[in-house]
Amino acid sequence: MALDTNLREALTDSLESFRADLSPDGPRTPQAPPDRGLRAASRLSSAHLRTPENSTLMRLCNALTRGELTAEELVRDLLTRADALDPQLHAYATRFDALALRAARRSDQQRRTGQVTRTLHGIPVAVKDVLSTQEGPTTANSGVSAVHLPAGEATAVRSLRAAGAIVLGKTTTMELASGMPDLHRPDQVPRNPWDTSRWTGGSSSGSAGGVAAQLFPAALGSDTAGSIRTPAALCGVTGFKPTHTPRLLTGCLPLSSSMDSVGPIAGSAIDCDVLLDALIPARPPGHESVSLDLKGTRVAVERSRFHAPGIDDDIQTAFQSALQTLTDQGVQVDEIVLPHYESLQVAARVIWTADAVARYGRYRAGLTEPTRDLLSVGEMTSGADYALAQQSRRWAERVFTDLLTPYVALLSPTRTCLAPEVTDATIDWQMSAHNHTAIWNLVGFPAVSVPMGLSATGLPIGLQIVGVRGADRQTLAVAAHFQSMTSWHRARPPVSYHPSPAREHA
């Protein structure tokens, strides 16, 4: 089956325009603006920002170490909060109350006997219901049992437990992490804590919504085309997609293995960096730094792309304000052009939807309507389309690496529209050109979404910070420095929480 007319025209036009660049004799990398003697991109650190003031996880660790609270008390408090708020928010798919409390008591006993050597000892987390856990099957919010993962332990989950974390439960995802809610099951659609008539975004919906509502201080998500960064942006939290790391995908239900990533969602970039230390203990060399601030560094933007018709005015204003904040701190903001950007968005869509069809197409009859709609896009892709999209991907990885290496980061809005009403969360919204996240899955670059403002109606707006492949620590350092200049990540949604006598969680 061939691509529909609009998609085919977009892909054909993009690949025709690629041909000159793909040719050995054609033009290669667009030139970055002159350096002007500014510092190289690999000389930035946020180590001095790793303080309890900037990190919820470090504050909790300090409180546990000082005996100001116990892990059991912390877990009970969070479960009680979830009792009150989650019936409205639907952040949890499954809770492990008894097992989490047992783990908390064990953590407290280890602390009393001086057996604490782990960075996340006693810290509660939640994990997206596409990551296998020893507590039971992983369903990915699908009624098709054939796609479920048996009880086990995903590499990412095992890594957090090895660092001392306590898993509270599994968070709600869209079916198969495909990104779209089933509006025929409204009681299972995660609600945005900033406005419960609106969606969280997906597909790491419960992870982002739960962190925003303070049901847990951190969570794991997965991201194939923006599924960590989109809900993080719409819920006003920080979400990080690492450099494509196949090792972290072991035990994760796949959507598109070449574009999938597993990463953290938390209250700040420093928290995400702390979690990344547990997930990827051996960091790639070459990104340790000697610089403690952003002054004199360069960031790249493509302003014209984010000041165009159809982009929410509040997002344009917030983005301009974020750039001004950086400029005021001595950062040079350089205008660049990302070649074939729209075409590469199409290529990303072709690859991940076709991969999803290859893995789940046989189960189509039992899947929800939104998932079937997404599979329909992949079913319109021919083998030739797929091969050409993969060719464009290899071109883009090389060209974007050369183009962005002189910078500490590329900046853009995470999404150029606000959180939709639940009833507007359709495939048209998902597939819109407003999505500026999938292209970084295509090339495997690290990217983080951080809060950069609120709309006039009080909805969060996200800033996306992108680095080159392997520059995970630096990308998070840029995010941490931005958050040290702003306070948007400290804003809290207006959820009403009135503690009542706790139900028995033992």
Residue 159's nearest CA partner among 59, 12, 262 is 262
| Annotation says 128 is catalytic | yes
Q: Which tokens sit at 488?
A: 């948007």
The active-site residue out of 14, 107, 227, 256 is: 227
Distance, CA of 352 to CA of 357 (rounded, Å)? 9
User: Is the distance from CB of 366 to CB of 173 less than 8 angstroms?
Assistant: no
Cβ contacts of 5 within 8 Å, gap of 6 or more: none
User: Is the distance from CB of 343 to CB of 14 less than 8 angstroms?
Assistant: yes
Q: Which tokens sit at 12?
A: 């054909």
The active-site residue out of 46, 107, 159, 203 is: 203
The active-site residue out of 128, 241, 268, 392 is: 128
Distance of CA 434 to the CA centre of its chain: 16
The CA distances from residue 447 to 33, 272, 286, 468, in Å, are 22, 12, 18, 9
Distance, CA of 17 to CA of 130 (rounded, Å)? 38
- Angle, CA 381 vertex, CA 376 and CA 383 arms, to 5°: 145
Residue 238's nearest CA partner among 263, 203, 202 is 263
Residue 218's nearest CA partner among 159, 167, 178 is 167
User: Is the distance from CB of 329 to CB of 295 less than 8 angstroms?
Assistant: yes
Which residues does the annotation mark as catalytic?
Answer: 128, 203, 227
